[in-house]
Amino acid sequence: MKNATTPFIIFCLFGILIPILNHFGLVADNTLNLWGRYFCFAIAALGVDLIWGYTGILSLCQAFFFCLGGYAIGMHMLLKTGTKSVYGSTLPDFMVWNQVEQLPLFWEPFHTFPISLLMVIVIPAIIALVFGYLAFRSRLKGVYFAIITQALALAMWLIFLRNETMLGGTNGLTDFKTLLGFELSDPATKRGLYMAAFITLFAAYYFSRFITNSKLGRILVAIRDGEMRLRFIGYPITHYKVFIFMVAGVLASIGGMLYVPQTGIITPGRMDVQASIAMVVWTAVGGRATLIGPIIGAILVNLLYSFLTGAFPGTWLYFLGFLFIGVVLFFPDGITGLWAKCKTLWASRSNNTSTPPEPALEK
Amino acid sequence: MKRWIYSLLFLCIPICVHAQKNSFEEQQITRLRSNDDDNIETAVEAISKSGNIAFYDLMTALFNAELYLTDQGQLVVAGSTREDDYGETFAQLNTAYPKRTVLLDDANIPIEVNLYNLTEVESNRRIRALIQPYLTQMEIFHPDPLKRRVAAETLGHQGNPDAIPILTQAIAKETDTDIKSFMQVARAKLQLQHKDANIRLEAVTALGELNDTFVLPLLESHAEKETDATVQTELKSTIQWLKEFTVIMMAVQTAFVGLSLGSILILVALGLAVIYGQMGVINMAHGEFMMTGAYTTFVVQNICFALLPAAYIDVFFPVSLPLAFVISGCFGLLIERLIIRHLYSRPLESLLATWGVSLVLVQLARSIFGDLTAVKLPKWLSGGYALAPQVLLPYNRLFIIVFTVFIVVGLIAFFYKTNFGLRLRAVTQNRDMSACMGVPVRRVDSFTFFIGTGIAGVAGWAMTLIGNVVPNMGQTYIVDAFLVVVVGGVGKIIGTIVAGLGIGISNKVLEPFVEAVYAKVLILGLIIMFLQANPTGIFPAKGRNEDQ
């Protein structure tokens, strides 16, 4: 994007105009909330795009990172609920059910907001660092890496489902009341969360753009297209891979952090095997290896999801399945790829001169 | 009134016949008929002492205060009662000896008598206390196995040494091995309290021979109070042996369960590994091809249940095996033609596309079959082989182990003994070179996919033995099966076998120490550590590509 007008218009529209319209009741609170959540998904999708679209590493545990952020902020909010909970105990309700008398040690840091925010970034970063280092060091790649990350997601999902891990078990964390002292049920807070999600998405977009436009970005693409060549030249590929895995994990985690206050609940269901693959589909539908693609994909697929589950219940899985197959088979570059193709076609027809085709993605 | 008088005449006949037959019985019955407390007591004592089962019904009736005398002085048992409109109580009559049977008049209608016309044979608390042990002792011959078991336990618990011969008699007659061991334990329990050290020794030996950990606490508690030196040594060695035996049996059990899980994983992973080795495609819909095989079995079962007579119903199981293979294989062929073929050499894309296929297939199965269906276990596979009293090896799991061995051997024979297997191995090793040498690579691909998904279908067929047939049944084992493929390495069946057994057994070995979930996490950790050393699995394909 050479000119800055398009992003500026988008920013004004979603970041300023829609919240103002909502303030005057012209945009429903629900719609605003829904879009706020889509932006969170889009942030996670950007992470998927960085690691899969640009670097060519398929990670199937991004939903797990998403949930790490969600659980971190959820734990903070639950502790802030304090004695206003159903049982009037300072402990979260599910601990009262499970007859836990004392707050587990690992919950303690989440009493304060800044530390919780730090945790949202540090925990996924550390997990991605350790896991990524072990995996990439032994040169796991391609489907091997995909399977190992999927197994990680499955194992973590099973652990989060347990009651004794003190993370709320199957029911997850819910019944949040306030965030930084603002009532979550207040429409103004919801608007604030929406704007926070949007601004973070914007920032994440520019951050990703910064990465992809830098020398680092070129190396990432080179890893995707000719890993061995790059290794032989002497680049420490493992470091780059671990780094981008960490970035993707942290982006997903930030998305989760912004998502949970808006939905008011986080359960292990958000991190099952299918959830991670769904994130890959958003990216694929939007168009990978472009930065606007995953954002469009995440929003569009989720819009379709809420439309289809409402209008034709039971058809969603068919639709998602065929979407998978269709996109992979017929539109490997997604919507943005389609758009670019249309533009070239249009240009060649109006100019009647053959514009050189854009360099195609190498698969 | 007239009716029942007539019928009572009939009723006398069997009693009279029996009374003439046996003077002991006649004597006791006469005593009972006298309805005199002392006489009844003598009779009850005599009967208890004789241990004669023939009096069981009679004594039960006396115990429950259901025994009556008619005007003619005959013994009858009052059955169910009803009140008529005038508030009179009528009771159905039964014979009292030797068996309780309903009395019928000549029109075959059960006889009913006003209770007012009968005299109850008195059984005071003293008499009932005398009858109680007799009844318990006799229940050990009861036709109901549960009653026999309870009786054996009660006898052992009561500690009356008089019951030893009765128990011996019952053990000789008993056919059910479970109950027999209960009786043996009860007898040994009584024998252990015997004054004679030899009998105690005999009891200890008998308990040891049962090979049942269940008797350990009994032996241990007895060891504390045993005084005789020989018995004490025998006790110690028996306890020692039983403890060792427990450990061995635990190990056998763990090995068996692990082997069972391992063979399931192998069965699931085989097809996956064959396809991955050949085409580099991880087939995410593999679990759904298993599901297809399972539903094929389910449909064949329903057809057989509808058409065949009950005796031949179990035929459905063997019949559905080839069908499961062919139908799943054809599905796979279709998917290969429509989707995989176009994604050749784009493994990540084909992974996603097959995931899409799996979503569609699961949803399709859900809308056709609903959520919960099950295949009935064939009769010849229900039950299990009892290795020891507490170690049961279920036939269905044994069958799966044997079946896996069969499939593996078949597949190896196919790979190494047939012309097609040769081509397949050639393509796996070097696709381009094989193509240059004239191997029809694409056709080999299609056929491999057919074989791979067919094996998945067969795995699904076998899985119906141990679980329900549900749309997402494939997902239970699929992630583990992927891990098996990753750990096993590509292109060699032996890798899949070793990895499958390794993962299955280590899962089950860890489970007693940590919970199943943590065992899974631990295994994943171990796998990652393992891949640090051997990134391409246990048996990597040898070659010189740039990755190595």
Q: What is this model's ipTM?
A: 0.81
Percent of chain B with pLDDT over 70: 92
Whether residue B220 is found in the same domain as residue B330: no
In whole angstroms, what is the distance from residue A22 CA to residue A31 CA? 9
Q: What is the pLDDT of residues B438-464, one digit of tens each?
A: 888 888 888 888 999 999 999 989 888
* Pair of tokens at residue B473: 């049944």
In whole angstroms, what is the distance from residue A299 CA to residue B36 CA? 96
Question: Which of A51, A60, A144 best probes binding to B when mutated, by most B CB atoms within 10 angstroms?
Answer: A144
Contact A204, A43 (CB under 8 A): yes
Last residue of a domain, one of B457, B475, B493: B475
Residue A362 inside a domain? The answer is no
In 3D space, the residue among B190, B246, B186, B250 whose CA is nearest the CA of residue B216 turns out to be B246
Last residue of a domain, one of B227, B246, B270: B227
Q: What is the pLDDT of residues B296-347, one digit of tens each?
A: 988 888 888 888 777 777 778 888 899 999 999 999 999 888 888 888 777 7
Whether residue B112 is found in the same domain as residue B149: no
Which DSSP string corresponds to B188-200? HHHHHT-S-HHHH
B352–A147 CB contact, under 8 Å: no
Mean pLDDT of B207-221: 72
Residue B531 inside a domain? The answer is no
Residues A173, A177, A178, A182, Cα dihedral to 10°:
140
- Domain count within chain A: 1
Please determine, for residue A82, whether its predicted confidence score (pLDDT) is greater than 80: no
CA A11 to chain centre: 20
Question: Which of A140, A151, A284 faces B483 most closely, judged by CB atoms?
Answer: A151
Residue B514 inside a domain? The answer is no
- Domain count within chain B: 3
* Pair of tokens at residue A129: 């660092």
Residue B242 inside a domain? The answer is no
**Measured between beta carbons, which residues in chain B are less than 8 angstroms from residue A143?**
276, 280, 282, 347-348, 351
Mean pLDDT of A71-96: 78
In whole angstroms, what is the distance from residue B207 CA to residue B185 CA? 7
Residue B520 inside a domain? The answer is no
Residue A74 inside a domain? The answer is yes
Q: What is the pLDDT of residues A186-212, one digit of tens each?
A: 788 888 888 889 889 989 999 999 999
Residue A239 inside a domain? The answer is yes
Question: Which of B356, B517, B547 faces A228 most closely, judged by CB atoms?
Answer: B547
Residue A361 inside a domain? The answer is no
Backbone angles phi, psi at B90, to 5 degrees: -110, 140
In whole angstroms, what is the distance from residue A184 CA to residue B73 CA? 90
Contact A33, A216 (CB under 8 A): no
In whole angstroms, what is the distance from residue B485 CA to residue B489 CA? 6
Q: Which residue has the tokens 């069908």?
A: B323
Instruction: For residue B490, give the chain A residue with the closest CA.
Output: A144
For A362, counting Cβ atoms within 10 Å of its Cβ (0-12 exposed, 13-18 middle, 19+ buried), the class is: exposed
Question: Which of B348, B517, B547 faces A143 most closely, judged by CB atoms?
Answer: B348
Whether residue B120 is found in the same domain as residue B185: no
Last residue of a domain, one of B475, B495, B522: B475
Residue A71 inside a domain? The answer is yes
Residue A360 inside a domain? The answer is no
Whether residue B290 is found in the same domain as residue B416: yes
Residue A26 inside a domain? The answer is yes
Range of the domain at A346: 5-351
Whether residue B285 is found in the same domain as residue B396: yes
The per-residue pLDDT for B329 is: 93
Mean pLDDT of B35-53: 77
Listed in sequence order, the residues at least 6 apart from B341 whose beta carbon sits closer than 8 Å to its beta carbon are: B442, B445
Whether residue B390 is found in the same domain as residue B412: yes
3-state helix, strand, coil split of chain A in percent (to 5) is 75, 0, 25
Range of the domain at B24: 2-127
Instruction: For residue B485, give the chain A residue with the closest CA.
Output: A144
3-state helix, strand, coil split of chain B in percent (to 5) is 70, 5, 25
The per-residue pLDDT for B16 is: 47
Whether residue B325 is found in the same domain as residue B441: yes
Question: Which of A58, A159, A321 faces B363 most closely, judged by CB atoms?
Answer: A321
Question: Which of B268, B359, B523 best probes binding to A when mutated, by most A CB atoms within 10 angstroms?
Answer: B359
